[in-house]
Chains A and B, each alone.
Chain A
Amino acid sequence: MSVILAVVIGALTTCSVFLLLQRSIIEILMGLSLLSHTANLVIFTSAGLVLKQPPIIAAGETLPVTPHADPLPQALILTAIVISFGVTAFTLAVAWRANFMTGSINVDETDEDAS
C-alpha cells in the first residue's frame, strides 16, 4: 500500500511543480493546493499504514484498546488542511484582484517592471 502511495506522491509532486511553473495565477494556485495535498499524503503515509482499532477509550477504561491507530497524524493533517484552505481562498482573492486591475491573470502581465 505504501508503495502505491509513494508513487502517487511522486506523481502529485510532479504535477504541482509543473503547474507552479505556469504563467497563469489560477494554474499556480492549483499547483499550490496540489502541493499541500502532497504534503498531507506524506504525513499520512510516513506515519504508518496499518489496520488497527480506533484510538477511543471505552467507558470505564483508562487506556484505549491496543493496538490502536495513531491519531496525531490525522490531527496534523487536519490542521494543515484548514490552513491550506484559508490560504487558497486568499490566493483566489489576489488572482481576482489582479484580473480586476490588469485584465489578466498572467503573472508576467501583472508585472510592471520586469527589470
Chain B
Amino acid sequence: MNVLLVLPIVIPLLTAASMLLIRTRRLQRRLSIAGAGALFLAALALLSHVLTHGTVATSIGSWPAPFGIILVADTFAGLMVVITGLKALAVSIYAVVALDEDAERAGYHPVYQTLLMGISGAFLTGDFFNLFVWFEVMLLSSFVLISLGNTRQQVSGAVKYVTINLVSSAILLIGLGILYGKLGTLNMADVAVRLAAEQRAIPRGLESVLAMLFIVSFGIKAGVFPLNFWLPASYHTPSFPVSAIFAGLLTKVGVYALIRSFTLVFVQDIETTHSLLLAIAVATMVTGVLGAASKMEIRRILSFHIISQIGYMVLGLALFTPFALAAAVFYVVHHIIVKTNLFLIAGFIHRLQGSNELHQLGGLYRSKPLLAALFLIPALSLAGVPPLSGFFAKLALIQAGLQVEAWLAVAVALAVGLLTLFSMLKIWNEAFWKDTPEAVTVASLTRTESMYWLLPIGCLALLTIAVGIFSGPLFEIALRAGQELMQPDTYLQAVREAR
C-alpha cells in the first residue's frame, strides 16, 4: 500500500466532508484553499517519487491485480495530478473574490473538492470500470457546478452539457460490457496483455468496434471534432471560477483517457485507429480556430480555442512516436496553465467592465496596464510566440510531425497557430487597446480585492514564463513520459507487482 497514490484522492474527499460540517463561508473558503494546497503538495511528492523510483502502483484493499482495483502513477499521470493540484490552488484563491454569495451558500466549495477528487481518481486509476466511476464522480460534481448560478442561460447550458456527457458515459459502459464479456477482465494492464497475446482474444472486427466506442466516448469528453458542439454551447455559462476549472481540466481528462487507452490497449491495428485519430486531430484544430474567429465574446472565443488546442494534443497521440507523445504531454501541461489563466482574466475583465462582449469593452490598457501585461503573456503563449511555453510545445509537435513526414498535419498546425494569434489580437485590440466605449465605467476595487484577483493570474503568468525558460528540463520529464507510454513494460510490471 503506497500512501502517496491514495492521498490525491483522499485529501479532496476529506476536505469536502469537513466542509459539510462547517457551514460558514469564511471557513469554507480557507479550507478550500488549504485542501487544494495540500493536494498540490501531495501530488508533488507523488511525482518526485515516480521520477526517482519509476512507475508505482498500489492495490486497494490488498486484492492483487487483476482482481482488485489498482492505482497506478507513471510520469504522465504524476504530471497530470501535479497540474491538477496547481490549478485547484489557483482557482480556489480566485474563487474568494470571483464567486457570488448564492453559489457559495448553495455548496460550491464541497462540490469543487469532489470534482477534484474525481479528476485525480481518473488520472490515477488502472482499471477501466474504476475509470468510469471516477468519470461519473467528476461529471456529477461538474453538473452541479455548471447549474449552480440558476440563471436561464446556465440551465440551458447545463441541459446540453449533462445530456451529451451521459450519452458518452453510456457508450463507454457498453464498450466495457463487451470488453469484459470477451476478456473477463477490466484491469487496463491485464486487458493490454491479453490483447497483445499471440492468440487473438477478440476477433479483429470486434476489436475495431471497441476501439471506435472508446474513441467516441472519450472523444465526446475531450471535445474532438465532430463531437464538440456541446463545449462552446455550455462553457461560457457558469461562473468564472467554474468555467476556468472546466476549461483547463475536464476536457483534458478525456484527452488523458484517449492517450492512455490508445497507447496501452488499442495498439494492435495502428494503421486504422491512429490514422483516424490523425484525421480527427486535423479537423479539430481547424474547426476550433475558425469557430473562435467568428465569435465576439471572450469566453466563447476561448472555448473554441480549447477545441483547437485539443486537436494539437490528439495530433501528438496520432503521430505515435515517443517524441510526439512527449510533445503531447508537454502540450497538455502548457495548455492547462495558459487556458485557465485566460479564463481567470476574462472573469477579472467582467468584474471591471461588467461584460465579456468585446464591443462593450475597451481602454483596459490605459486603466489597468498590469492586467494588460498579464493578459499578453498567456495569450501570446497560446498562439505560440517564443520564448513562452506554447512556442516550445508547438515546436516539439511540429518537429515530431516532420519526423514521420505528416506534412499536411504540420501545415495545418502552423496555420492554426497564426489564426490563434489573430483571435488573441482581436481580444487585445477590442478589450485593451481601443478607447473605452461611452457609458462603460471601470469598477474601482479595493486593494485587497485586486490582490485576490491578480495573485492567481500573476502566478500562472509567471509559471508560463518559467515553463518557457525551463522548457529543457521539463521536456526531459515529458520525454520520459512519452517513452513510458510507448513502451508500457514498466507500467505492466508495476501493476503486476502492486501490493
Interfacial residues, chain A to chain B (CB-CB below 8 A): 20, 25, 28, 32, 35-36, 38-40, 42-48, 70, 72-73, 76, 79-80, 83, 86-87, 90-91, 94, 97-98, 101-102, 107, 110-113
Contacts and interface: CB of A to CB of B under 8 A. Distances in A.
Given A39-B170, A39-B174, 4 more contacts: A20-B163, A48-B181, A76-B129, A79-B133
Interface of B: 129, 132-133, 136, 139-140, 143-144, 147, 150, 152-153, 155-156, 158-160, 162-163, 166-167, 169-171, 173-174, 176-178, 180-182, 184
Contacts of B162: 87, 90-91, 94
Given A87-B140, A87-B166, A94-B162, A42 B174 contact: yes
Most buried by A among B155, B167, B178: B155
Contact of B180 (A25, A76, A83, A97): A76
The B interface is mostly helix, strand or loop, or mixed, namely helix
Nearest to A48: B181
Contacts of A38: 170, 174
Contacts, number: 101
Nearest to B164: A20
B140 A86 contact: yes
8 contacts: A40-B173, A42-B174, A42-B177, A43-B173, A46-B177, A87-B139, A110-B159, A112-B153
Nearest to B172: A39
A25 B163 CA distance: 10
Nearest to B177: A43
Interface of A is mostly: helix
B173 A80 contact: yes
Given A97-B155, A101-B152, A35 B170 contact: yes
A83 B136 contact: yes
Contacts of B150: 97, 101
Contact of B182 (A46, A73, A110, A113): A46
A10 to B, nearest CB: 12
A111 B160 CA distance: 10
B155 A36 contact: no
Contacts of B170: 32, 35-36, 38-39
The 3 closest A-B pairs by CB, nearest first: A46-B181, A43-B177, A39-B173
Given A46-B181, A110-B156, A32 B147 contact: no
B183 to A, nearest CB: 11
B140 A111 contact: no
Contacts of B176: 43, 76
B173 A98 contact: no
A48 to B, nearest CB: 7
Nearest to B181: A46
Contact of B177 (A39, A97, A107): A39
Contacts of A20: 163, 167
Contact of B166 (A35, A97, A107): A35
Given A83-B136, A94-B147, A111 B156 contact: yes
B180 A110 contact: no
Contacts of B153: 112-113
B466 to A, nearest CB: 39
Query: Looking at B150, B162, B171, which has the most chain A CB atoms within 10 Å of its CB?
Result: B162
B301 to A, nearest CB: 14
Contacts of A25: 159
Contacts of A28: 159, 163
Nearest to A32: B166
A60 B132 CA distance: 37
Contact of B163 (A32, A36, A83, A97): A32
Contacts of A39: 170-171, 173-174, 177
A46 to B, nearest CB: 3
B173 A94 contact: no
Given A20-B167, A83-B133, A91-B162, A73 B174 contact: no
Nearest to A109: B156
Nearest to B139: A87
Contacts of A102: 152, 155
Contacts of A35: 166-167, 170
Contacts of B152: 101-102, 110, 112
Nearest to A33: B166
Given A83-B136, A87-B140, A110-B152, A94 B159 contact: yes
A61 to B, nearest CB: 19
Nearest to B236: A113
Nearest to A42: B177
B159 A98 contact: yes
A12 B85 CA distance: 42
